[in-house]
Amino acid sequence: MQGIIRNSVSMSRHILNHHIKPGDLAIDATCGRGQDTLFLARLVGKTGRVFAFDIQGQAIHSTYCLVRKQGWLDVVVMIKDDHSNMADHLSGNTPKACVFNLGYMPEGDHDIITTPHSTISALKNSLDILAADGVVSLVFYTGHPGGQEEYEAINDYVSGLSQSKFTVLKLEFINQINSPPGLILIHKFSEDKR
């Protein structure tokens, strides 16, 4: 149990692990160094598909190298584009999960960060195209410049989502120092729960 509730990424992965099945389609909206893409590829398996987005060529290259090394290149489609354009690349296919790990790339340029405008736009798009019973996971960071504003924009937006269509959960680690990342999970119902 200690491993699961250690941090927001481990909590997110625990939920995704129960939710994503072999053959599913999943989106990594911010692939960075590729760790989340690799995690999703292992969950969807050889019959599934992962679409991995990032605006940085360096991130796409890192992700490519990692998934190739681990033997998952045939499952992953890497796309260098803003995640707010994700629907343009999916040809009408509906993802079972969409994962956002916000902020800047690990060991990358700290000035290239996710921003409220594109994050909210991508989040809206992901909820539109998400399969019924699908999940969106957002790991958010408030410790870097711009992070608090992005979190507040997300929080405002998800707080207003209809409870007849979505369940929204927020997790924060309230006894840790140095602004630990938090987690927002959104579950899309199979049908309206009016």
Query: Is position 114 an interface residue for ligand SAM (rule: CB under 6 A)?
Result: yes
Single out the residue of 73, 77, 87, 112 in contact with ligand SAM (rule: CB under 6 A). Answer: 112
Nearer to ligand SAM, 61 or 165 (CB): 61
Q: How far apart are CA 85 and CA 193, in angstroms?
A: 29
Single out the residue of 16, 43, 49, 103 in contact with ligand SAM (rule: CB under 6 A). Answer: 103
* Contact by Cβ (8 Å): 105, 111: no
Query: Is position 30 an interface residue for ligand SAM (rule: CB under 6 A)?
Result: yes
Query: Is position 153 an interface residue for ligand SAM (rule: CB under 6 A)?
Result: no
Edge-to-edge strands, sheet with 25-28: 76-80, 49-54, 25-28, 97-101, 135-140, 182-188, 166-171
* Contact by Cβ (8 Å): 136, 98: yes
Single out the residue of 20, 41, 59, 123 in contact with ligand SAM (rule: CB under 6 A). Answer: 59
Strand partners, 182: 140
Query: Is position 106 an interface residue for ligand SAM (rule: CB under 6 A)?
Result: yes
For ligand SAM, what does the binding mask look like between residues 33 and 52, x meaning CB under 6 A? xxxx----------------
Query: Is position 118 an interface residue for ligand SAM (rule: CB under 6 A)?
Result: yes
Buried b (16+ CB within 10 A) or exposed e, 54-85: bebeebbebbbebbeeeebeebbebbeeebbe
User: Which tokens hold the place of 104?
Assistant: 């800047």
Tell me the residue nearest to ligand SAM as measured from the CB.
32
Residues in contact with ligand SAM by CB under 6 A are 30-36, 53-56, 59, 82-83, 101, 103-106, 112, 114, 118
